[in-house]
Chain A
Amino acid sequence: MQQSWWRKPKYWLGPLMPVLAVIAALIAGAVMLVLLGVNPFVAYAALVDGAFGSPNSIADTFVKATPLLLVGAGICIAFRGGVINVGGEGQLIVGALAASVAALYLGDLPGWLLITICLILGFLGGAAWGAIPGALKAYLNVNEILTTIMLNAIAIQGMNFLLSGPLMDPMQVTAGSFIPQTARFPISIDLPRLVPTRLHAGVLLAVVAAILVWLLLWRTTIGFRIRAVGLSPKAARRAGIRVERYAMLALILSGALAGLAGAVQVLGVNHRMFTDGSAAGFTGNAGFNGIVAALFGQLHPIGTIPASFFFGALLVGANKMQRVTQVPTSMIIALNGLLVIFVVSSEIWRRRLARQREMEEVAQVLQPASASEEASEG
């Protein structure tokens, strides 16, 4: 009866799906490049070189991956808990704003203390921005997809108002240039650099956060309940779990991690907050790309770690690709979109394979029983 594992695709094809999705997206990208009259091998070689070619580019890849990992780890909690959080952009902005306020007004505190305060405020800011849709979903049954989208827009307007008003750099006012950005934060709260590159300590924080999310989801009762609610709210309710509370908690934690990503971004990379009027100007679409990374990591926080670094590499490498082949970096955004579509669409095969496997297992369990029945009849 022992068959080689590779003869049973249903056992290994599922976990392989994201890899196949990436290959499909890269092929689609290659087709686009050919249509643009660019040799795809040259373009992809430039992309890899741009992402890993030098210590600096590797550092940039890690820096770019940091917000994706934090947002993505949060997305794992939300999606596992059955809530669809597309409000990462807004939560990230609110987290960054909260951290900025502390950085600007509490500059006299010692650096380590102020960094801690900023990070906690970022976490809480994001949590608050996740709590609104969470509470509305849990207690008033309002669709969280819509409220998170609305709260993204509200966060953008809030950011634009604060950065062109109360939080604006006084230098911008005296110089009369009125660029909507804050003053530079005290140098004492720049996140420590790990090696002499742009790589800052936030990347370690993100990895630790992802591991903590894994522990939370798979090693604690709270995590177990969140996952139970996501798998089957009905069954969870029957088991005595307060479904509403855990769905809301999933959104709050998800928002909190996105907020933390915002705080890490201002402390580690920009050292001030700025806006160009749109969300992407500040976030670089991290709120959405974090979803991509989490999906690619199979909604598993540990899987999200390499996934985030992969997407960080794509985003950083795209700049080099643009310099070498004149292909705009927006191609990577399009490819990310395709990737999401491929990953989500491949779910149907995974479900089908899982069902096949389950039925086979059930059949195996039932077989001896039916055999003994026959025996008793005979």
Chain B
Amino acid sequence: MISDLFTPMVIIGILASGIRLATPYLYATIGETFGQLSGVLNLGVDGIMLMGAFSGFYVTYMTDNYWLGLLAAILTGALMGLMMAFISVTLKSEQGISGIGLYLFGLGLSDLLFQVSLGTVKTVSGFPPIDIPILSDIPVIGPIFFQQNLLVYGAYLMVPIATFILNKTTWGLKIKSVGQNPAAADALGVSVTAVRYATVTLGGIFSGVAGASLSIALLNVFQQNLTSGMGFIAVALVYFGGWRPIGMLWGSLLFSSVNALQLWVQTLGLPIPSDFATMMPYVLTILALIFAVRKVSVPAALTKIFERGEG
């Protein structure tokens, strides 16, 4: 019954899978943070994730080398990110809608390629778990934190790295200035176009890796609509996390823990409608959007088209 959920074994299990499952959210949200901070809302994250997941899986399946798979996901993500940059920065299209276009494109194309090339659901041996010596032997904490695979460690490593880039480097300051006041940044000689191209492409790369982390590190399968909307959640989590990488960490962990809880509820066959558990993070995100987001600073130029000389 419900008390079954509170045995140490299950709690450790939930925490461990929560930490694992946060991986795709972390990559996607951190990548999207860069784009949004520079003023571009890329709503097509889910489509890029699907393309990254497929290309990563396909290359891994064909070459038996998950590093090549990861590289394929990175290249695919970069390409789709460039596409979004071209559409939203150069062609200055309405970001909310073009993102939906990018999503449908990725959703359709990834399934098309999957059905044409593989046809049926197959599995690969992706990134193996790596035990960190000594630390992984610590009871309770060891299995949770130190027996994960490389892409999981990488995702958590991105939090301090992104924080550093955004707060301590000139490039980080340029990104924020372009997102807050593009006209002023432009007047000071910062190329709004170059910065936005870079951030949106970087966001694409991260989304590609996010997808690959599902298909060649966590689940090791690919199927139609593998992400089932995770990318959309990631976009909202960026608001939820207040455009700070540390905020992305909490948001990702919240969603992934609830996912993990739901998996365990199903595995243990508990009589709790798990749909409600799954619903909670979405409700929480809306509440956070209402109460929290207004206090932190939304990048002032987010979704606004920059036309030189119209500031």
Chain A residues within CB distance 8 Å of chain B? 32, 36, 84, 86, 136, 140-143, 145-147, 149-154, 157-158, 160-161, 164-165, 278-280, 285, 288, 291-292, 295, 327-328, 330-341, 344-345, 347-348
Contacts and interface: CB of A to CB of B under 8 A. Distances in A.
B229 A153 contact: yes
Given A146-B239, A340-B101, A165 B273 contact: yes
Interface in B258-311: 273, 275-276, 278-279, 282-283, 285-286, 289-290, 293-294
Contacts of B87: 341, 344-345
Interface stretch (B60-68, B89-97, B136-144, B193-201): B89-97
Nearest to A349: B91
B290 A337 contact: no
Interface string B81-110: 000000100011110111011111111110
A57 B286 CA distance: 43
A100 B276 CA distance: 20
B279 A341 contact: no
Contacts of B109: 330, 334, 337
A6 B43 CA distance: 38
Contact of A157 (B103, B115, B275, B293): B275
Nearest to A75: B97
A333 B108 CA distance: 5
- Interface-central residue, A136, A330, A335, by most chain B CB under 10 Å: A330
Contact of B93 (A32, A160, A345): A345
Given A146-B236, A340-B97, A341-B87, A158 B279 contact: yes
A-B pairs, 6 with minimum CB distance: A337-B105, A334-B108, A340-B101, A333-B108, A337-B104, A161-B275
Contacts of B276: 157, 161
- Interface-central residue, A160, A328, A337, by most chain B CB under 10 Å: A337
B153 interface: no
B120 to A, nearest CB: 13
B149 interface: no
Contact of A161 (B273, B286, B289): B273
A291 B290 contact: no
A278 B225 contact: yes
Contact of A147 (B96, B233, B286): B286
Given A147-B286, A153-B229, A344-B94, A158 B275 contact: yes
A150 B93 contact: no
Given A280-B225, A291-B100, A344-B101, A334 B239 contact: no
B96 A86 contact: yes
B232 interface: yes
A84 B97 CA distance: 8
A153 B111 contact: no
Interface string B105-127: 11111011001100000000000
A154 B97 contact: no
Contacts of A291: 97, 100
A99 to B, nearest CB: 20
Given A142-B290, A157-B275, A348-B91, A330 B112 contact: yes
Contact of A344 (B97, B104, B239): B97
Contacts of A147: 286, 289
B22 interface: no
Given A149-B235, A291-B100, A348 B93 contact: yes
A153 B97 contact: no
B92 A348 contact: yes
A285 B286 CA distance: 23
